[in-house]
Copies of this chain bind each other. A is one copy, B any other.
Amino acid sequence: MQKLTLFERFSRTFRESPSFSKMLIVLTIGGGGLVAYSEAQSYGVPITTKTSESNKKKKVVVLGTGWAATSFLKNLKDPSYDVQVISPRNYFAFTPLLPSVTCGTVESRSVVEPVRNIIRQKNVDMHYLEAECYKIDAENKKVHCRSNSNNNLNGEEEFVVDYDYLVISVGARSNTFNIPGVSENCHFLKEVEDAQKIRRTVIDCFERASLPNLSDEERKRILHFVIVGGGPTGVEFAAQLHDFVNEDVARLYPGVKDLVKITLLEATDHILSMFDKRITAFAEEKFQRNGIQLKTGSMVVGVSDKELSTKQAKSGEKDAMPYGMVVWSTGIGTRPVIMDFMKQIGQASRRVLATDEWLRVEGSDNIYALGDCATINQRKIMEDVSEIFRKADKDNSGTLTVKKFQEVSNDVCERYPQFKLYLKNHKMHTLGDLLKESKRDAVNESTEVNIEEFKSALTQVDSKMKFLPATAQVASQQGVYLAKCFNRMEQCEANPEGPLRIRGEGRHRFRPFRYKHLGQFAPLGGEQTAAQLPGDWVSIGHSSQWLWYSVYASKQVSWRTRMHVISDWTRRFIFGRDSSRI
């Protein structure tokens, strides 16, 4: 079958078509489309396969097609790798828009991009396999995979792939905390399928509540939507649902609109606790004004098919709550394949897979883990304090001066970012300031401190260490970081650019990963969004909503999804949300 490039396809159509039809298409492309076309033209470039060379290439296996994996793949430029991408999901999903998908503000297909589109335009050999890795064999450098669809391919669905480097970025699963009934009766909001299912269920609830022969009590139960978890996802879903009820249900289901109740349950004292207090307060106040019931300090202890049992954290008071739909959004847990892998490499006692600051899995060679499936186990400065002292004390005098420390100061700051953060938070500049605080007497550049004094000055430094949040932003930056390391692997092998090895000799190959927080949004419904930007700059309201639109449009992975998302927003403004139950 003959292949047509996009340009041929286009021009052929234009050649053959009568002029009135040209008008149609020109009109429809409208604003932005032509720009997109010029970018998309590169789709026509023929794919060159280099199978003959690839035997000599280093084999990289990437597990997953989420934020971390995709940004790694997009940024990997060195053609000396042969990359296999393995994931049960053949697309990347723009997860921050999932709450918008649940009520039809944005369509599900607008937030996904096929991974084959992402890897196709590269000069690096990349292949995608639609399968799930069910076992990592670190000893033999193999991953065992299983094709996850089950239509007539019995018996041949398992295979093994070798690797030289393994990049684990399989994400996490929703955490039910083993509360009975949660996995059977609740909806989650991690995958596109989850969002589609929630959307169908929301419509279902309204349709069912509109049927005759139901008591008002039953109608109220069906239209009671409960969200468990007051994090950004739960809050955004509650806001979306409220907007949907407010803007669309009123015209589509006028008879049952007033029976709708939305309840948000949160185990701690406040929703959006990771945000600035001003945002939390604004959100809580706005929700109350909108009629969204907020139950903080309330823990779920069980879920049956029609009722949710809660317990007040403080009073211990128990309560039962009839519901129509529950969305469970309380946090993430480790996937079984990662748990199994952790046992193999001696991390069985940990809750989450740990990597070092270079995203290498602790206890295994050439395996990297990024995104929600791992956390960086930042080395504590107190663990290495003697070695740091020794490195700085070049003449082995047993004492250290501020001036002597100055020489290794940059390396220490880079290796132990908590050191720099601690100084910054306490408005200090050098070790001298820290010693001053600790010794409480005059310290100058040549004051000598012994190891005990050095230790006691640093005691508090590790206290402010924080794990990075499980967000798209972190995963994405980790992907970019790792790709850049891979791109300069040989070069940095020869000329290491990282900090001094404190325990060993020489320098680290690369600088450790450093997360740069670019801010975070919490859409609150009614075209209002709370934005917390770097430098504790807080903005709440309609202008932040427009900032949100701009940022989310610009962060789209392709021009295709960008056009989709923007036109979905536009259509929602014009026509409202679609309530078809498909």
Which residue of chain B has the shortest Cβ distance to A527 in the bound complex? B13
A305 to B152, alpha carbons, bound, how many Å?
A: 6
Which residue of chain B has the shortest Cβ distance to A306 in the bound complex? B152
In-complex Cβ contact of A90 among B21, B553, B570, B579 (8 A): B579
Question: Cβ of B212 and Cβ of A550 under 8 Å apart?
Answer: no
Residues of B within 8 A of A222 (CB): 153
Stretch at the interface among A3-11, A429-437, A469-477: A3-11
A117 part of interface (Cβ distance < 8 Å): yes
Residues of B within 8 A of A543 (CB): 16-18
Known: A30-B30, A30-B33. A129 touches B3 (CB 8 A): no
In-complex Cβ contact of A193 among B43, B250, B558, B582 (8 A): B582
Question: Cβ of A550 and Cβ of B21 under 8 Å apart?
Answer: yes
A245 part of interface (Cβ distance < 8 Å): yes
Stretch at the interface among A253-261, A271-279, A346-354: A253-261
Number of copies: 2
A510 part of interface (Cβ distance < 8 Å): no
In-complex Cβ contact of A566 among B12, B28, B107, B214 (8 A): B28
What does the 1/0 interface line of A155-171 toward B look like (CB < 8 Å)? 01001010000000000
Question: Cβ of B214 and Cβ of A581 under 8 Å apart?
Answer: no
Q: How many residues of A contact B (CB 8 A)?
A: 114
A211 to B129, alpha carbons, bound, how many Å?
A: 6
Question: Cβ of B30 and Cβ of A580 under 8 Å apart?
Answer: no
CB of A260, distance to nearest CB on chain B (Å):
7
Question: Cβ of A575 and Cβ of B43 under 8 Å apart?
Answer: yes
A559 to B571, alpha carbons, bound, how many Å?
A: 10
CB of A279, distance to nearest CB on chain B (Å):
19
- Near B by CB (< 8 A), chain A positions 550-582 give 550, 553, 558-560, 563-564, 566-567, 569-571, 573-576, 578-582
A485 to B28, alpha carbons, bound, how many Å?
A: 39
In-complex Cβ contact of A159 among B2, B32, B213, B578 (8 A): B213
What does the 1/0 interface line of A207-227 toward B look like (CB < 8 Å)? 110111110001000100000
Residues of B within 8 A of A579 (CB): 90-91, 114, 116-117
List 28 contacting pairs A-B, 8 Å CB cutoff, sorted by A: A1-B245, A1-B246, A1-B291, A3-B246, A6-B576, A9-B247, A10-B573, A16-B541, A24-B550, A25-B569, A28-B31, A28-B570, A29-B570, A29-B574, A36-B575, A47-B251, A90-B203, A90-B207, A107-B109, A112-B580, A128-B210, A152-B305, A152-B324, A156-B213, A156-B214, A159-B212, A193-B582, A560-B578
Counting from the closest, the 8 A-B pairs by CB-CB distance are: A30-B30, A27-B31, A91-B580, A16-B542, A130-B207, A21-B546, A30-B31, A3-B250
